[in-house]
Amino acid sequence: GFSMGGGMAMHLAYRFHQDLAGVFALSSFLNKDSAVYEALKRNGGVLPELFQCHGTADELVLYSWGEETNKMLKSLGVSTSLHTFPNLNHELNRTEIEELKTWILKKLPIEAEKSNE
């Protein structure tokens, strides 16, 4: 999800649907006292991978908030990747979408890839 949609995606995945293959959060963050962190402290299973992107010039959702979210989730056992986009504000760019597409295609089962050809 993008912005608040990314926050919602992280909440749903890490609190209620830990059987997902992955979660993406673009220009998103979790509050410092998020219920997600509390849920992960009690978790003992395998967690969905997080693909996260954030622009350094984002004035609506600060880059530092996304970076802090990433570090916190990683410390709680989530396999994360944070892709940083210099000078990108609270928006998407082509490179970000292409990296996301590549990540999604790696996550999809082989059958899904064959139907896209």
Q: Is the dihedral of CA 5, 7, 10, 13 positive or negative?
A: negative
Name which of 34, 104, 49 is nearest 81 in CA terms.
Answer: 49
- Determine which one of 17, 27, 58, 64 is catalytic: 58
Asked about 58 being catalytic, the answer comes back as: yes
Asked about 3 being catalytic, the answer comes back as: yes
Q: Is the pTM of this model over 0.75?
A: yes
Reported as a single tens digit per residue, the pLDDT across 51-90 is 999 999 999 999 999 999 999 999 999 999 999 999 999 9
Asked about 83 being catalytic, the answer comes back as: no
- DSSP secondary structure string, 63-80? HHHHHHHHHHHHHTT--E
Domain ranges in the chain are 1-23+33-41+63-110
